[in-house]
Amino acid sequence: MSNKNNVQYQSFLLLLAGVTVAFAWLLRPYYGALFWGAALAIIFMPLHRRVLRRLHGRPNLAALATVIVCVLIVIIPLIFITGSLVQEGAVFYHNISEGKFNLGQYFEQAVAALPQSVHDLLAHFGLADALSMKDKLSTAAMRGSKFLATQAFNVGQNTFEFLIGLGIMLYLLFFLLRDGPMLGRRITQLIPLNQDHKHHLFRKFTTVVRATVKGNVAVAATQGVLGGIIFWILGIEGALLWGVIMGFLSLLPAVGAALIWLPVAVFFLLTGAFWKGIILIVFGVLVIGLVDNLLRPLLVGKDTKMPDYVILISTLGGLTAFGLNGFVIGPLIAALFMACWDLFPSAVKQSDD
């Protein structure tokens, strides 16, 4: 390559990088809508193909029908649950502000119900004074409820932005369903990698997205619903709120919904509500706990199974870096990281040849 051609090529690469960064910056405010539009397109693509065959190859009508199905089974229920959650979160904050719910007082009651031998053991390790822990729990509950109330206020203030993001997501979903195969082939041609490597990475990408959203979200939603139902049956206030929290915690392996239902069950046992505590423990272990073992292998499959510690760290990191979208983006980045390193030896071998 001559010096002139080399300068032109480097200038083009610089221009390409510049316009790509500028375009990414332009789309940044709605990256969540764009990401979920692409994720839903990947998830609903098998359904779209079946609808396309039923409609005898009419792509616009098939894409529209698939989007309507997505709205009916995903968007509308999610909006309804979010509205109910915001309302219940506001009620929970009001009850804490009025002193109707005092987590520190409940903790003090549970500590007082402990046997004398346990008190002696706590005193031996210098943990007898539960007053400071009581104050910390009360402060944490007030801060948490205030956060929920703030989020509820923000949802009301940002309704217009939410509607714009929702419109962008559904608009993009329609075109990705209609033109997805063509766009996939085009992107594959533009990536300067070996054909086998490109196929491996694209297959890993689509599989992880489907597994994370379809599998992990379904498992988390099921555990959250079951947890909310048993809380409602036992008369625990804020059953919907606690059910949603259990659902989110279910996304984290080795942690799970037990972080919520187990302390409540222990509190029941310590305060004399033995049957409620026993029922909650049995239901938590035999029903909520087994959902993960039964549903996850069916919905996620064994091909994308990453170590639990990788999923935990990548999910927490994704939530920290990207907010709520991070529970998909984090494991996706981790999966692509592992896939690229799996391909590294073959890439080095090809370069040597």
Give the 3-state secondary structure of 162-226. Answer: HHHHHHHHHHHHHHHHHHHHHHHHHHHHHCCCCHHHHHHHHHHHHHHHHHHHHHHHHHHHHHHHH
Sign of CA dihedral 340, 341, 343, 346: positive
End-to-end CA distance of the chain: 22
The reported pLDDT for the residue numbered 131 is: 46
Task: Please state, in angstroms and rounded to a whole number, the distance separating the CA atoms of residues 185 and 194.
Answer: 14
Taking only the tens place, the pLDDT of each residue in 116-162 is 555 565 555 555 554 455 555 455 555 655 555 555 555 555 667 77
Write the CB contacts of 213 (distance below 8 Å, at least 6 apart in sequence).
39, 40, 43, 328
Task: Please state, in angstroms and rounded to a whole number, the distance separating the CA atoms of residues 313 and 27.
Answer: 27
Taking only the tens place, the pLDDT of each residue in 171-230 is 999 999 998 888 878 877 777 777 777 777 777 777 777 777 777 777 888 888 898 899
Residues 201 and 340 sit within 8 Å (Cβ to Cβ): yes
Task: Please state, in angstroms and rounded to a whole number, the distance separating the CA atoms of residues 318 and 324.
Answer: 8
Top pLDDT among 174 and 338 is at 174
Task: Please state, in angstroms and rounded to a whole number, the distance separating the CA atoms of residues 348 and 353.
Answer: 9
Alpha carbons within 13 angstroms on the beta-carbon side of residue 70 total 29
Residues 300 and 216 sit within 8 Å (Cβ to Cβ): yes
Mean pLDDT for 250-273 is 77
- Rg over alpha carbons for the chain, rounded to the nearest Å, is 25
CA angle 45, 246, 310 (to 5 degrees): 65
The reported pLDDT for the residue numbered 64 is: 93
Taking only the tens place, the pLDDT of each residue in 63-121 is 999 999 999 988 888 777 777 766 766 666 666 666 555 555 555 555 555 555 555 65
